[in-house]
Amino acid sequence: MDKLLDVENVSISFIQYTKGLNQRDLKVITDLTLDISEGEILAVLGSSGSGKSLLAHAIFGILPENARLNGKIKFKGKELSQADKEEIRGKGIVLVPQSVNFLDPLMKISDIAIGHCDSEEEKKEKKIKQREIFEHYNLGPEVDEMYPFQLSGGMARRVLVSTALLADPDLVVADEPTPGLDEKTVEETLNHFKHMKDDGIGVLLITHDIHAALEVADRIGIFYSGYVIEIALKEDFSGDGENLLHPYTKALYKALPANGFEVIKGHQPLHGEIVKGCPYYDRCDWRFDRCKEERPELMDIGLKKIRCFKYDGVTEDMIKDGAIEETAEANIEDAANEVVEKAAELVDESNIEESAEAVEGAEEAVSETEDAIEEEVAEAVEGAEEAVEGAEEAVEVPEEAVEEGTEEAVEESSEEAVEESSEEAVEESSEETVEESSEEAVEEGA
């Protein structure tokens, strides 16, 4: 089976303007890799807003203006430029879009379905084919004359699928082809994809409907937080899910009603949330230190792909031999041992006893210092009080002089005496002693 589509390391981001003129890149899809061969249905399963439609639009070259695309998209081995995409659109590859909003609102449905024709003859032929396919999809002749806005939800789906088939493509990209359809029409639509597959057409089925994916797909790619975290085989979704590799895929499988509806705890990081390591780190039961800092690459294991360090060194043969769990468990054990060793080293290095002694010493020093300061302050206060007394006595002397009638004597002897004796005395005895003694005490103590 020849390869039809290769999506290699594709990232899609949007330039966002935050406060003022600040720009930032909002990554929606990161490092996406997948491939589809002739006659294969690959389902891409992702929650709403995870970038599924953007992937389809990237393949078709119809991304919005502010989107930035990196990586390679190859069709039959050839990398597609924007011009190639425009050329191939509606011929080699057709899109079954998510909504009728992608149809030209001013064109009649039959004209949209038939598309561009080079001659009247071609147009006649296509018209006949269109009627056949429309009839098959239960779309009567009156639908041919309608405009897109006149279609009901279910009718619109059927128009979109049959229009795609009319183009006789090699690859069909179907973006959420089943929502809004009744059970019977869902079944029918999925059957049409199966028929396309039988005719050798490759189908990329983009959906958040795991049931639809499991019903028709050969392989299923799981989107998580903008990454493909696993591409599993359809048959891996069976039994206990023991053949599924990624813990998220396992959890997704267990969340199905038939498998117990187990709730997945935690949340999926959204676009713009910067996650350095593995995007599943927060929710993972297997995580090791490395997963927090490093992001695992998407590894090939035969037809499967997995993005998880647990499977480092695991090969396809190991899967066949059932040795995969052993290797994986060994990886986890290694990582756990590393953590324990590291912790032990840290304990050794820290020398807890010494530091405890040091803390005790420091505490003693502090209390000694406090005592010393108290004592010295008390002494200083005493000294200051004595000095004040002395000053008061000095003041008394000039009073006597006033009585004797000499003003000069009053000024000289009173003011000077007061200033000198009181200030000096206060300074000396209080401040110096406090400072000296407390400093000394701190030094001693420390």
Ligand X SMILES: Nc1ncnc2c1ncn2[C@@H]1O[C@H](COP(=O)(O)OP(=O)(O)OP(=O)(O)O)[C@@H](O)[C@H]1O
Residues that bind Ni ion (CB under 5 A): 52-53, 98
| Cβ distance to ligand X smaller for residue 78 or 267 | 267
Q: What is the CA radius of gyration of the chain?
A: 41
> Which of ligand X, Ni ion, none sits in contact with 271, Cβ below 5 to 8 A by type?
ligand X
> Which of Ni ion, ligand X, none sits in contact with 48, Cβ below 5 to 8 A by type?
ligand X
Q: What is the C-alpha separation between 170 and 155, in angstroms, rounded?
A: 25
List the structure tokens of 406: 């000499």
List the structure tokens of 168: 């006789």
Cβ neighbours around 2 below 10 Å, total: 11
Q: What is the C-alpha separation between 104 and 386, in angstroms, rounded?
A: 104
Find all residues with CB under 8 Å of 207, minimum gap 6, and list them: 43, 44, 45, 52, 176, 177, 178, 213
Q: What is the C-alpha separation between 187 and 196, in angstroms, rounded?
A: 14
Q: What is the C-alpha separation between 349 and 343, in angstroms, rounded?
A: 10
- In the bound complex, what is the minimum distance in angstroms from residue 230's beta carbon to ligand X? 17
Question: What is the SS3 assignment for 94-114?
Answer: EEECCCHHHCCCCCCHHHHHH
Question: Which of 397, 392, 418 shows the shortest CA–CA distance to 409?
Answer: 397
Write the interaction track for ligand X spanning residues 161-180; mark x where CB under 6 A is met and - where it is not. Answer: ---------------x----
> Which of ligand X, Ni ion, none sits in contact with 49, Cβ below 5 to 8 A by type?
ligand X
Residue of 7, 44, 51, 113 interacting with ligand X (CB under 6 A): 51
Write the interaction track for ligand X spanning residues 93-132; mark x where CB under 6 A is met and - where it is not. Answer: -----x----------------------------------
Position 28 contacts ligand X (CB under 6 A):
yes
For ligand X, the binding residues in 60-79 under the rule CB under 6 A are 64, 66
Residue of 108, 127, 254, 271 interacting with ligand X (CB under 6 A): 271
The residue length of the chain stands at 446
Position 266 contacts ligand X (CB under 6 A):
no
- In the bound complex, what is the minimum distance in angstroms from residue 95's beta carbon to Ni ion? 12
CA dihedral 18, 23, 29, 32 (to 10 degrees): -170
Position 13 contacts ligand X (CB under 6 A):
no
- In the bound complex, what is the minimum distance in angstroms from residue 263's beta carbon to Ni ion? 25
| Cβ distance to ligand X smaller for residue 56 or 139 | 56
Rounded to the nearest 5 degrees, what angle is found at the Cα of 271, between the Cα atoms of 269 and 275? 50
Asked if 204 contacts 171 with a C-beta cutoff of 8 angstroms, the reply is: yes
Q: What is the C-alpha separation between 139 and 155, in angstroms, rounded?
A: 7
Are β-strands 202-207 and 41-45 bridged in parallel, bridged antiparallel, or unpaired? parallel
Residue of 49, 260, 302, 361 interacting with ligand X (CB under 6 A): 49
- In the bound complex, what is the minimum distance in angstroms from residue 283's beta carbon to ligand X? 20
> Which of Ni ion, ligand X, none sits in contact with 221, Cβ below 5 to 8 A by type?
none
Q: What is the C-alpha separation between 182 and 440, in angstroms, rounded?
A: 90
Position 23 contacts ligand X (CB under 6 A):
no
- In the bound complex, what is the minimum distance in angstroms from residue 169's beta carbon to ligand X? 21
- In the bound complex, what is the minimum distance in angstroms from residue 78's beta carbon to Ni ion? 27
Residue of 157, 158, 197, 208 interacting with ligand X (CB under 6 A): 208
- In the bound complex, what is the minimum distance in angstroms from residue 98's beta carbon to ligand X? 6
| Cβ distance to ligand X smaller for residue 51 or 177 | 51
Binding site for ligand X (CB under 6 A): 14, 28, 46, 48-54, 64, 66, 98, 176, 208, 271
